[in-house]
Amino acid sequence: MTLDVTPTEQGVALITLRRPEALNALNTQMLGEIATFLAAASVDDSIRVVVVTGSRRAFAAGADIKEMADRDLVGILDDPRVAHWQAITSFSKPIIAAVNGFAFGAGFELAMCADILIAGEDALFGQPEINLGIIPGAGGTQRLLRAVGKSKAMQMVLSGEAISARDALQFSLASEVTQPELTVERAVELARLVATKAPLAVRLAKETLLKAFDTDLATGLRFERLAFTVLAGTKDRNEGIRAFQEKRKAHFVGR
Ligand code: CO8
């Protein structure tokens, strides 16, 4: 196993990337284990939010270069990792990344696939693929540009230069920076808060926000309107409003 899964508590599952000998480089096995875990989590009502983290030294230092070295053009064309990445990006529940140390290449791309990114002060984010004569291949060009804009994305991808956690915060890649020893704790705390909310509203909120990446404003607003309307038919919406009126805490069931 390349993944540690902490038993779910208060709706939060914590997965820890565990390949210390390779700074958590994402090989096919690890990506497959993440994809398998997420497939199970998507139908497990006890899991409402997933936190993904690595070690203090490295969140993940990229795709596994040693594994990639053996793949020729056809090997990359029929790359089994592509399906695993799709499983990650299509996961319907929130993912929070708790990032310490290196988040390079595919490791940075994985962190950018998360819905919220909490960074430890010592985290470093970079797309160094250019040094290997390749380019980012798991969304790094597209997600990075949308997050930080053209000039900074070009600088990072063309030069391979990494940025600090503070820069990541400034460029809205990270939503918070913490002391490294508190990164996971803070991510789990936030996940627990999200896990108390109505699951269907959380799911549609995530999908609607992500819609903004690939639609024009009018289409996005139309999607928001439809999602908002769908939620009007849920038990949790009635419960939320009733709980407010009765001045008590809402108990959401995901229906
Ligand atoms: N892959 C495999 N092994 C790695 C990787 C990696 N990405 N990164 C580090 N390691 C290994 C090292 O080889 C070393 O192993 P060993 O002791 O057996 O030689 C061990 O981890 C420790 O690494 P270092 O000794 O290099 O540690 P340093 O602290 O000196 O340096 C760095 C840390 C700066 C992170 C350095 O290891 C480094 O530059 N790593 C490579 C970073 C990189 O280039 N990442 C991009 C990889 S390519 C990619 O991600 C493309 C994604 C495409 C996805 C497509 C999906 C379909």
Please check the confidence at residue 136 and state whether its pLDDT lies above 90. yes
Order the strands of the 3-9 sheet from edge to edge. 3-9, 12-17, 49-53, 95-99, 116-120, 176-178
Name the pLDDT band for 234 (thresholds 50, 70, 90): very high
Q: Sort strands 124-126 and 163-164 into parallel, antiparallel or unpaired.
A: antiparallel
CB 54 within 8 A of CB 60: yes
Measured from the Cβ of residue 213, the count of other Cβ atoms closer than 10 Å reads 11
What residues line ligand 1, using a CB cutoff of 6 Å?
22-23, 25, 61-66, 79, 81-82, 85, 102, 104-106, 128-129, 132, 137-138
Residue 5 pLDDT greater than 90, yes or no: yes
> Given a cut of 90, is residue 8 above it in pLDDT?
no
Q: What is the atom index within ligand 1 of the atom nearest the CA of 127?
A: 46
pLDDT at 115 over 90: yes
Cα separation, 14 vs 220, in Å, equals 31
Report pLDDT for 72: 87
Check: CB of residue 119 under 8 Å from CB of residue 177. yes
CA 166 to chain centre: 19
Count CB atoms within 10 A of the CB of residue 112: 22
Average pLDDT over residues 214-230: 97
Atom of ligand 1 nearest to the CA of 107: 50
pLDDT band at 78 (very low <50, low <70, confident <90, very high): confident
Domains (range + CATH), the chain: 3-195 (3.90.226.10), 199-245 (1.10.12.10)
Tell me how far the alpha carbon of residue 240 lies from the centroid of ligand 1, in angstroms: 48
Query: How large is the average pLDDT for residues 170-174?
Result: 97
| Cα(57) to centroid(ligand 1), Å | 12
What is the C-alpha separation between 75 and 89, in angstroms, rounded?
A: 22
Cα angle value 147/149/154 (rounded, 5°): 110
